[in-house]
Amino acid sequence: MEDTKKKYAADLSSIRDAHSRISSFTHKTPVMCSESINAIAGRRLFFKCECFQKGGAFKFRGACNAIFSLPDAQAAKGVVTHSSGNHAAALSLAASLRGVPAYIVIPRNAPKCKVDNVVRYGGKVIWSDATMQSRESIATKVLQETGAVLIHPFNDARIISGQGTISLELLEQAPEIDTIIVPISGGGLISGVALAAKSINPAIRILAAEPKGANDAAQSKAAGRIITLPETNTIADGLRAFLGDLTWPVVRDFVDDIIVVDDSELIEAMKLCYEILKVAVEPSGAIGLAAVLSESFRSNTTWNSCTNVAIILSGGNLDLGALWNSYMK
């Protein structure tokens, strides 16, 4: 792992710097365990509850690191992003803590609760179409008009370092873990988590969990190059992005495998989170549990030695309207 910084977007040093920068703003989220779920999984699981992070997702770590890294003059003009939601809320909150504007380009199909979070934290919402092209072109327009700086949701070294702070906490909270299962979308989370964790403990296994309907990362690993998909189809609205040029090299070199699960497995894992852990996760947030319980993981003998498995419950922002409607009858 020497000279990591030269080859990859972050290293243990940049991640430790990020932790110093953000830890007075972020929650040190708890690691929860359940013997009932251990019995179901046949392993000891350690849930790092990033759904309890400020803004309801791990995204606040990266956003905070990015915003508090900016020179004053640049920060004053504000920040821009396009995001499926959690990064947007996180950036809005981090910007408000620094007292600078956050311009948030949000696709019209984003879940209402995620938009509500942006508004709650003082972000300025600018709507786009659902395509990445529309999101990016509108963001560029805002950049030109305001002089604000773009903070990409994942393909950004500051974001990757911020997300990596999870590993610093996790390895201190549960030093016995031998494996970390991480949701994968654009790869910002898993890049930071992998770089930090493998620097501290090179033997640790890093496994990605990805929905079948957006399995670009699994395809990319198989092909040895970034693959994007013409469309995605999964309820995991936070896991529809594709890898970027900063995250792909980390995923290629440090992610030991990618476990693909279908939406029905995801929903079953969500149920366990609510009904046994009592933690309100969003579909994307439950995918690590879905992976460890999946037949493809259980039947792969390579992973028999994964006995102490950390799972990152990445977020909890979810429209629960159906639940409340059932009470209003």
Contact set with a copy of itself (CB under 8 A): 30, 32, 35-36, 49, 51-52, 54, 56, 113, 120, 235, 267, 271, 274-281, 316, 318, 320-328
Helix or strand (DSSP H, E) at 189 = helix 188-200
Residue recorded with tokens 């792992």: 1
Dihedral sign, Cα of residue 112, residue 213, residue 161, residue 244: negative
Q: In the numeric block, which tokens belong to residue 173?
A: 């909270």
- Residue 47 CB, shortest distance to a copy of itself, in Å, is 11
Q: Please give the C-alpha separations between residue 102 and each of 59, 75, 112, 135, 319, in angstroms, as whole numbers.
A: 15, 10, 19, 15, 23
- Which CB, 264 or 304, lies closer to a copy of itself? 264
Contact 238, 287 (CB under 8 A): no
Of 48, 54, 59, 221, the active-site residue reads: 59
- Residue 97 CB, shortest distance to a copy of itself, in Å, is 10
- Residue 92 CB, shortest distance to a copy of itself, in Å, is 12
> How do beta strands 149-150 and 79-82 pair?
parallel
Residue recorded with tokens 């939601």: 85
Q: Is position 20 annotated as part of the catalytic site?
A: no
DSSP for residue 300:
-
- Residue 7 CB, shortest distance to a copy of itself, in Å, is 36
- Which CB, 2 or 275, lies closer to a copy of itself? 275
- Which CB, 125 or 227, lies closer to a copy of itself? 125
- Which CB, 77 or 212, lies closer to a copy of itself? 212
Q: Is position 84 annotated as part of the catalytic site?
A: yes
- Residue 323 CB, shortest distance to a copy of itself, in Å, is 4
Q: Please give the C-alpha separations between residue 18 and each of 43, 69, 194, 245, in angstroms, as whole numbers.
A: 32, 9, 15, 21
Q: In the numeric block, which tokens belong to residue 232?
A: 């995605």
- Closest CA relative to residue 58, chosen from 68, 72, 69, 47: 47
- Closest CA relative to residue 18, chosen from 64, 49, 53, 57: 64
User: What's the half-sphere exposure (Cβ side, CA atoms, 13 Å) at 80?
Assistant: 20
Contact 75, 67 (CB under 8 A): yes
Of 84, 92, 161, 185, the active-site residue reads: 84
- Residue 146 CB, shortest distance to a copy of itself, in Å, is 27
Dihedral sign, Cα of residue 232, residue 49, residue 120, residue 59: negative
- Residue 304 CB, shortest distance to a copy of itself, in Å, is 26
Residue recorded with tokens 């992070």: 53
- Which CB, 222 or 323, lies closer to a copy of itself? 323
3-state secondary structure of 109: coil
- Which CB, 299 or 324, lies closer to a copy of itself? 324
Please list the active-site residues.
Answer: 59, 84
